[in-house]
């Protein structure tokens, strides 16, 4: 158990809909990262938050957005869903996010299926 | 543009033998490299890392080698055990921004199967 929790575990929805994925980082971790893993794909970095502020952006679509709240939990919002958005979405956390403290601990993931 | 590549999607090895997983990267500014291991239905877990100032780091049965001139790193598992069967991701970190925060770039993974 990494200490990172993600809810829900599974989500099935229809095209055009909007969903919210939730992540609670390990106690004491200030950075939260979101990744997407599509079928046969590696982990695609989406976005990183550190202590409530956006720190780094990866291949995140404009239809997707995220935020980190004062209690450090984070939410990833996916809207106007398309079939291709079906994937495993991982959240990870780390103490900081700098070169010296960037070991990331991953949650179990949320499997999103768009029908 | 994939900055970290794992060109072998799968690898099959006999128990007790050496497993060698390879990873190539394109950005010479990367300065920290990590390997993660992922079992089905679980998130990746950190395995071992190496800084660009080293060319080798060892932790038990796991050794990571870094060849900066070739922009290549490899993970050696000796001896391989059936419990090592998993997907292995390599990741690279950097270059840091002015706050020294890093983006992380992951490869597509190599599925290792260790046969008993």
3-state secondary structure string, A18-61?
CEEEEEECCCCCCEEEEEEECCCCCCEEEEEEECCEEEEECCCC
Distance CA B109, CA B87 (A): 6
For chain B positions 67-86, those within 8 Å of chain A (CB to CB) are none
Q: Coil, strand or helix: which one is A80?
A: coil
Pairing of strands B32-38, A19-24: unpaired
Q: Show residues of chain A in contact with B101, CB under 8 Å.
A: 48, 50, 55-56, 97-98
User: Is the pLDDT reported for residue B100 higher than 50?
Assistant: no
CB contact under 8 A, A45 and B93: no
Q: Coil, strand or helix: which one is A84?
A: helix
Alpha carbon A91 to chain centroid distance? 4
Per-residue pLDDT, averaged over B43-53, amounts to 90
CB contact under 8 A, B89 and A43: yes
Window from A53-62, A92-101, B17-26, B91-100 with minimum mean pLDDT: B91-100
Distance CA A83, CA A101 (A): 36
Instruction: Locate A86 and state its tokens.
Output: 């079906």
Per-residue pLDDT, averaged over B25-33, amounts to 87
Are A108 and A9 a contacting pair, CB within 8 Å? Answer: yes
Of A42, A92, A105, the CB nearest to B108: A42
CB contact under 8 A, B101 and A41: no
Please report the pLDDT score of residue A53 as a whole number.
92
Please report the pLDDT score of residue A43 as a whole number.
84
Does B86 or B3 have the greater pLDDT score? B86
Number of H helices, E strands in chain A: 0, 11
Terminal Cα-to-Cα distance of chain B (whole angstroms): 38
Please report the pLDDT score of residue B42 as a whole number.
86
Of A2, A33, A41, the CB nearest to B45: A2
Residue B26's Cβ-side half-sphere holds a number of Cα atoms within 13 Å equal to 9
Per-residue pLDDT, averaged over A29-57, amounts to 88
Question: H-helix or E-strand containing B51?
Answer: strand B45-51
Are A75 and A91 a contacting pair, CB within 8 Å? Answer: no
CB contact under 8 A, A99 and B96: yes
Write down the mean pLDDT value for chain A: 91
Per-residue b or e along A78-103, where b marks 16 or more CB atoms closer than 10 Å to that residue's CB: beebeeebbbbbbbbbbbbbbbeebe
Chain A contact for B45 (CB, 8 A cutoff): yes
Per-residue pLDDT, averaged over B98-116, amounts to 81
Cβ neighbors of A92 (< 8 A, separation 6 or more) are A4, A32, A33, A35, A104, A105, A106, A107, B43
Distances (CA, A) of A66 to A29, A55, A98, B93: 17, 12, 20, 22
Per-residue pLDDT, averaged over B39-63, amounts to 91
Pairing of strands A31-37, B110-115: unpaired
Per-residue pLDDT, averaged over B24-41, amounts to 89
């Amino acid at each position: 158990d990494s200490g990172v929790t993600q809810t829900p575990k599974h989500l099935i929805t229809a095209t055009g809909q909007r969903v919210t994925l939730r992540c609670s980082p390990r106690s004491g971790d200030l950075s939260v990262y979101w990744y997407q893993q599509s079928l046969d794909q590696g982990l695609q970095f989406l976005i990183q938050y550190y202590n409530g502020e956006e720190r780094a952006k990866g291949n995140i679509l404009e239809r997707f957005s995220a935020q980190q709240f004062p209690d450090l939990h984070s939410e990833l919002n996916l809207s106007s869903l398309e079939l291709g958005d079906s994937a495993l979405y991982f959240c990870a956390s780390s103490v900081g996010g700098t070169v010296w403290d960037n070991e990331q601990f991953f949650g179990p993931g949320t499997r999103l299926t768009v029908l | 543009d994939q900055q970290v590549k794992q060109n072998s999607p799968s690898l099959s090895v006999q128990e007790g033998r050496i497993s060698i997983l390879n990873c190539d990267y394109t950005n010479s500014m990367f300065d920290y490299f990590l390997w993660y291991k992922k079992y089905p239905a679980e998130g990746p877990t950190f395995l071992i890392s190496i800084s660009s100032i080293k060319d080798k780091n060892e932790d038990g049965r796991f050794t990571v080698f870094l060849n900066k001139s070739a922009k290549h790193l490899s993970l050696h598992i000796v001896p391989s055990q059936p419990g090592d069967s998993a997907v292995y991701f390599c990741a690279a970190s950097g270059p840091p921004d002015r706050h020294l925060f890093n983006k992380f770039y992951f490869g597509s993974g190599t599925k290792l199967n260790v046969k008993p």
